[in-house]
Amino acid sequence: MFAVIQQTLAITAPVFAMLFLGVALKRLHWIDNAFIDTASSLVFRGTMPTLLFIGIVKADLSTALQPELLLFFVIATLVCFAIAWAWAIWRVPHVDRGIYTQGAFRGNNGIVGLALATSMYGDYGLSLGAVLGGVVILCYNVLSAIVLAIYSPGAKTGVLAISKSIVTNPLIIGVLAAIPFAYWQIPLPAWLMTSGQYFAQMTLPLALICIGGTLSLNSLRRSSGVAVGSSLMKMVWLPLISTLGAWLWGFRDADLAILFLYFASPTAAASFVMARAVGANHELAAAIIVITTLAAVVTTNIGLLILQWGGWI
């Protein structure tokens, strides 16, 4: 148990370090709002799509392609999205419903989920997690694009407008562009992959620094109620429902643990980037990311302890 806590801390501590660095840089006036706007745009339009593209291209689809597990994850994600959205409609102010919903269902699987899966189950965790990650990315970005388009200030909510927001989303384009290369194992020049990795490696530091630069005590106070509600949905209720569903479906051992780790991951940094890109309440998105990342140290380990105690993993 203590080893798992150390693993979780080893993954989440660098995330917090970059967040606090963003806070410090803003306080020192080394970065300003203009930098945050430019850097967030660069992440959304360039570095993050490149990161997603490279991650899928490098995934070994033949090693861990499990249609039943992938199907369950898609169904569970849709159910979680529907629950979060329904609760937001009932309990959250109209302007914040998109951010609440995205924060409640969109996990940081590329950093926390995959890293813990690999740490616990080695090559199997890495291969299954990477293949699952491709499905995760596509589902999360399509659903986020829909709900943010509906609730973003001044957004057009017709079917054509929402469809356009999906097909023009750089993150979705990055995923779709990578699928043929991954499926048919089309090789890319080594220099191009290396250059792409250099570019993609800027994603997480830039995104987290921008989140930290946006945080302030006033913004945390303003968004505290909604942020805590979304965080509880993300870190407690939806992982509980999804993991119970996986257990009832018949998943056990490594498959059940990896599904749990993906469901229980804190809110992804990409949620802040997308919120800022569409002019939504990015301060609320930043607060949800901070709260869920902190909560992950506790909830992830409690969940794994319960699953181990029951003899299911």
Q: Which residues contact 228 (CB under 8 A, 6 or more apart)?
A: 291
> How far apart are alpha carbons 131 and 65 in whole angstroms?
7
Q: Which residues contact 262 (CB under 8 A, 6 or more apart)?
A: 73, 107, 109, 113, 117, 129, 132, 136
The answer to whether 284 and 223 are in contact (CB under 8 A) is yes
> How far apart are alpha carbons 78 and 99 in whole angstroms?
17
The answer to whether 231 and 288 are in contact (CB under 8 A) is yes
CATH number of 2-307: 1.20.1530.20, 1.10.150.120, 3.40.50.12240, 3.40.190.10? 1.20.1530.20
Residue 104 is predicted with a pLDDT of 97
Residue 155 is predicted with a pLDDT of 58
Total residue count of the chain as it appears in this document: 313
Residue 153 is predicted with a pLDDT of 72
User: If the chain, 313 residues long, is cut into consecutive pieces of 10 residues, what is the mean pLDDT of each piece?
Assistant: 71 83 94 92 90 80 78 96 97 94 92 81 79 83 91 70 82 86 89 95 90 80 87 97 97 94 92 89 92 89 90 91
Residue 197 is predicted with a pLDDT of 93
Locate the domains of the chain by residue range.
2-307
Burial of residue 290, with CB atoms counted within 10 A of its CB: 0-12 exposed, 13-18 middle, 19 or more buried = buried
CA 308 to chain centre: 25
At position 181, the amino acid (one-letter code) is: F
E-state strands within the chain: none
This prediction has a pTM of 0.86
Secondary structure of residue 168 in the 3-state scheme: coil
Residue 85 is predicted with a pLDDT of 97
Question: How many Cα atoms sit within 13 Å of 220 on the Cβ side?
Answer: 11
Residue 20 tokens read as: 């606090």
